[in-house]
Amino acid sequence: MSTGWIIAIVVIVVITAILAVLYFLGKKAQKKQDEQQALMEENKQTISMLIIDKKRMKMKDAGLPQMVIDQTPKLMRGAKLPIVKAKVGPQILSLVSDEKIFDSIPVKKEVKAVVSGIYILGVKGLHGKPQAAPQKKKGWFKRAVEKAQEKAGAKPVK
């Protein structure tokens, strides 16, 4: 056998081993996430609150309890989280929002929120019309394509 075949076989074996390790780590992480989701569903409750402010900020700047910051992994501490400041009863709390619903949370409005600990799982408006999520801005490439189609007289593709 030539050295080219030996190198190819070694590379294939190494890639297979890496894929197997990633598969089992992913399976373990998925199982852990499912357990956490079940625990949050078990402990959820509906609370009426006034949303004061919302923004994406680092965990240490968000005003979350020190116990929460200590329990998070070191890599996550620097990541920006969707933080919501809300008045719940007489208290003003910093809560972490689910990424899926963060854009649909209305600011300076009273809402009924489904909360599990300091994590907001869902929001329903109490007064007024429900606020739709704002539309995403189009990138420069999509705008350029639409301008080219308008000049050509074609209908824009959505």
Q: Is 127 helix (H, G, I), strand (E, B) or coil?
A: coil
d(CA 71, CA 5): 49
Does the pLDDT at position 23 exceed 90?
yes
- Please check the confidence at residue 68 and state whether its pLDDT lies above 60: yes
Give strand pairing partners of 46.
Answer: 114
Considering the entire predicted model, what is its pTM? 0.63
Choose the weakest-confidence range: 54-63, 120-129, 144-153: 120-129
With residues binned 3-state (H G I as helix, E B as strand, rest as coil), the percentages for the chain, rounded to 5, are 45, 30, 30
What's the pLDDT score for residue 61? 84
Q: What is the mean pLDDT of the chain?
A: 86
> The tokens of 67 are what?
């116990």
Amino acid 157: pLDDT: 57
Distance (Å, whole) CA 112 – CA 105: 11
Q: Is the pLDDT of residue 90 over 80?
A: yes
